[in-house]
A and B are shown apart, each in its own frame.
Chain A
């Protein structure tokens, strides 16, 4: 029996591990990753904005609980992010700087999320896992809380991406199988949305592709898979089919929420919900690899618990440096997980 605390820790450690593993592969294509690493399985450096903004979102949520409003979140951004900036922002995406500039302009949500042109980014999806932990078993509430946060920095499909991840984590936290978790993500967004169409297309690919790079005791079998041309070819065809299904050909950036959330959840489903397989599959798909691997890791970690996160990865996850968000420097993601489920 995996406890809620154990799942919460698994979720956020999985997220932090995916963030760190995927970071050097961000904005690369699957071919470039294969040429550089064969299969990227080992964490090289620290985590990035995904982990730090997740801690920030969790902190604001813990302060306000279920009563969290967009105005609370906007105030937190003003006091904890904007007021502390004495130079350029570091390690953030366009949506964060766009939001900071909108707040500096004096705008209020939801206009702060509409004013800049990156309202569809995956910046909310990357930090939405705490809402699913906090509202364990209640995907509607998790999605509602993520939306309250997202209205400050996002609009449209960016908010839907956050809703999908929060709802999926809420269900993964109950130990539900990956198919049910993916179903919760789909139910959290309108059927007639880009996120839903993208998710359905990606899940279709995951369903008709044999498990890529599979292995139960993966860090033993993975070394073999690495040199197993059959496994590599399988992953390549999976990756190509997924890219064809959800990646825009004529757009240079990789942080579109409908794309990133679809890649992440497809990797998690294809990985059978197993932490290492899911995270490695997502990271090796490239694109916004730190975010997609973080989301896949959050879902798989919530489902399998802390012990399922490979020890060699967990050992690399310490207190965050505050490189992106100085206000969270020194926080350990395990403590954040514990606080989110205190009293449950």
Chain B
């Protein structure tokens, strides 16, 4: 395989993740962290007003007397954490995270915050990821896209912030991305991922249920209700549980490639279907986008999306404001 193709796939994984990240409705919420504190406070008050007055007009984030760019379509938390991972990937993972501990300007999932607090209190991995109320979330799975693209094991990184299903989700994601980066077909990449997910775990059970449900339903959009029923328990909207988002990403990536015969149209078909699953729209579209972007390659992604998602906003890691995701991906490849 020519190295040019490999670079195209790695860039595709990064830009695909960022496009999925941008496509999910929570992106605007994350990006609104860049708006002035008073306007975010006013938004919370409007939220209470809407509840109190039974109005269905949603008080979405708004810009008033300040730049409107944060509310435009663009990448948010997942793209930034992926970029941070790629930039620090050769460092000891506990040390890289340790530099974030105690910083007051970082935004992150519960698992990452709990890990940063644990590290600051002297707990080392794997306890930092295990003694963690959200050890099961997909923060490490998102970061694992960088490890998969670099052909590296995501385990050490994952165990800083996660445990059990959270680590399994990272290993599965990295395996799938690594296979796709090497030019494997989506079906092979999905099998690679499944091999990392024991059937007796929630994530392993959900992955097999999700794949079966999506295959029975047909094209990705048709599979949305089946995935909602098969994978989401609707008890608590954690939204970023790896046992939900990784299986949905695998199932929709698989369905999109099957439905389109693996043409570039697979990307939009899979990502937009993932964005329709509102409870998991924070990261399921991003993970789906990473798999499909890696499969079809950067050059085959819609040009308007490619341009729109390459510049990071700095809504979670302020030092990444203005950073070029494509450049970061290229350095990794």
Q: In the bound complex, how far is the Cα of B241 from the Cα of A94, in angstroms? A: 15
Confirm or deny: B131 has a beta carbon within 8 angstroms of a beta carbon on chain A: yes
Q: In the bound complex, how far is the Cα of B173 from the Cα of A49, in angstroms? A: 39
Confirm or deny: B104 has a beta carbon within 8 angstroms of a beta carbon on chain A: no
Kindly specify which of A7-15, A245-253, A313-321 makes contact with the partner chain.
A245-253
Shortest distance between the CB of A309 and any CB in chain B (Å): 33
Contact with B114, one of A107, A120, A156, A248 (Cβ below 8 angstroms):
A248
CB-based contact B136/A250 at 8 Å = no
CB-based contact B131/A117 at 8 Å = no
Q: In the bound complex, how far is the Cα of B133 from the Cα of A258, in angstroms? A: 10
Confirm or deny: B38 has a beta carbon within 8 angstroms of a beta carbon on chain A: no
Contact with A251, one of B114, B123, B130 (Cβ below 8 angstroms):
B114
Given A111-B202, A250-B114, A251-B110, check contact A116 B134 (CB 8 Å). Answer: no
Confirm or deny: A101 has a beta carbon within 8 angstroms of a beta carbon on chain B: yes
CB-based contact A97/B133 at 8 Å = no
Which A residues are CB-close (under 8 A) to B241? 117
Q: Please report the number of residue pairs spanning A and B whose Cβ atoms sit closer than 8 angstroms.
A: 58
Q: In the bound complex, how far is the Cα of B132 from the Cα of A258, in angstroms? A: 10
CB-based contact B130/A97 at 8 Å = no
Kindly specify which of B230-238, B279-287, B312-320 makes contact with the partner chain.
B230-238
Which B residues are CB-close (under 8 A) to A105? 233
Number of A interface residues at 8 Å Cβ cutoff, please give it.
27
Shortest distance between the CB of B168 and any CB in chain A (Å): 12
Residue of A nearest to B136 (CB): A117
Confirm or deny: B205 has a beta carbon within 8 angstroms of a beta carbon on chain A: yes
CB-based contact B238/A117 at 8 Å = yes
Shortest distance between the CB of B239 and any CB in chain A (Å): 10
For the complex, would chain B's binding face be called helix, strand, loop or mixed by DSSP majority?
A: loop
Q: In the bound complex, how far is the Cα of B204 from the Cα of A110, in angstroms? A: 13
Q: In the bound complex, how far is the Cα of B134 from the Cα of A248, in angstroms? A: 11
Contact mask B195-221 → A, CB, 8 Å, 1/0? 000001110010000000000000000
Q: In the bound complex, how far is the Cα of B117 from the Cα of A258, in angstroms? A: 16
Confirm or deny: A198 has a beta carbon within 8 angstroms of a beta carbon on chain B: yes
Contact with A249, one of B117, B233, B238, B243 (Cβ below 8 angstroms):
B117
Given A111-B205, A117-B136, A256-B133, check contact A101 B117 (CB 8 Å). Answer: no
Q: Which chain A residues numbered 100 to 143 have a C-beta less than 8 Å away from chain B?
A: 101-102, 105, 107, 110-111, 114-118, 120
CB-based contact A98/B110 at 8 Å = no
Confirm or deny: B182 has a beta carbon within 8 angstroms of a beta carbon on chain A: no
Q: In the bound complex, how far is the Cα of B202 from the Cα of A114, in angstroms? A: 6
Confirm or deny: B265 has a beta carbon within 8 angstroms of a beta carbon on chain A: no
Residue of B nearest to A198 (CB): B131
Confirm or deny: A232 has a beta carbon within 8 angstroms of a beta carbon on chain B: no
Q: In the bound complex, how far is the Cα of B202 from the Cα of A94, in angstroms? A: 16
CB-based contact A110/B200 at 8 Å = yes
CB-based contact A251/B134 at 8 Å = yes
Shortest distance between the CB of B284 and any CB in chain A (Å): 15
Could you give 30 example pairs across A and B, Cβ below 8 Å? A94-B235, A97-B235, A98-B233, A98-B235, A101-B234, A101-B235, A102-B233, A107-B205, A111-B200, A114-B200, A114-B201, A115-B233, A116-B233, A116-B236, A117-B136, A117-B236, A117-B243, A156-B164, A194-B127, A194-B130, A197-B123, A248-B133, A249-B113, A250-B110, A250-B113, A250-B114, A251-B110, A251-B114, A251-B133, A253-B133
B interface residues, Cβ below 8 angstroms from A: 110, 113-114, 117, 123, 127, 130-131, 133-134, 136, 164, 200-202, 205, 233-236, 238, 241, 243
Question: Top 8 nearest A-B pairs by Cβ distance?
Answer: A250-B113, A194-B131, A251-B133, A114-B202, A98-B235, A101-B233, A115-B202, A97-B235
